[in-house]
Amino acid sequence: MSTIPWSEFPSEFAIYFVFMGMLHLVLFAVGCFIFALLAIRQRGRFLRRVGRLGLFLGLLLLVGSVANGLWSCLVWGRLYYSTDYVWDFSAFWPITQWTIDAPFGTERGQLFGVSLFHVQLIWLLFAAGTWTATILLYRLICKRPPANKSPEPTAVARRFCFSGAASRRWLSFFR
């Protein structure tokens, strides 16, 4: 058993991109279906919502691919070993004992001097970084306010958001 060298980073990026890209396409399709149902009541916002959802999911896929490459080169083989390794990092769900112990022939994975809780804390740092970077990139790209809209939150937004978070437009593809 050896660690994954940095020269394998591009292939780790690509493997995650391809396989998790399928999940992101399913999420995109589900989102389009939900937005189509909402378009029955609110006409004219469907294409904008779909475009923003696609942008957000695309950024999440790219940032998640980078995080998976970092996870593969920095964590796997140093803190734990899993026998059937394709990718172990996902921003959606943490690594579990089952992932580490999954048999492959007669081999089993193992932890190297750390507990599963420590590996999951490191996963939490990677996942939080992935979501934060995705949201910040999304906000940076979608920073342009609409031409005829005030940057101040509306009265409806003030009623539902106590801290004025609506003016920050964290996930503005719902608008």
The per-residue pLDDT for 80 is 81
Rounded Cα gap, residues 145 and 128, in angstroms: 27
- Find, among 13, 4, 130, the residue nearest to 69 by Cα: 13
Please list the pLDDT of the chain residue by residue as tens digits (175 residues): 577 778 888 998 999 999 999 999 999 999 999 888 888 777 677 888 899 999 999 999 999 999 999 988 888 888 887 776 767 788 888 888 887 777 777 777 777 888 889 989 999 999 999 999 999 999 999 886 666 655 555 544 444 444 444 445 555 555 5
Start-to-end CA distance of the chain, whole Å, equals 50
Rounded Cα gap, residues 84 and 154, in angstroms: 52
| Sequence-distant (≥ 6) Cβ neighbours of residue 83 within 8 angstroms | 102, 103, 104, 105, 107, 108, 109
The per-residue pLDDT for 81 is 79
Pair of tokens at residue 40: 């029955």
State the pTM of this model: 0.75
The per-residue pLDDT for 150 is 56
| Sequence-distant (≥ 6) Cβ neighbours of residue 73 within 8 angstroms | 3, 4, 5, 6, 8, 9, 12
Rounded Cα gap, residues 133 and 63, in angstroms: 7
Rounded Cα gap, residues 87 and 104, in angstroms: 15
Amino acid at 62: L
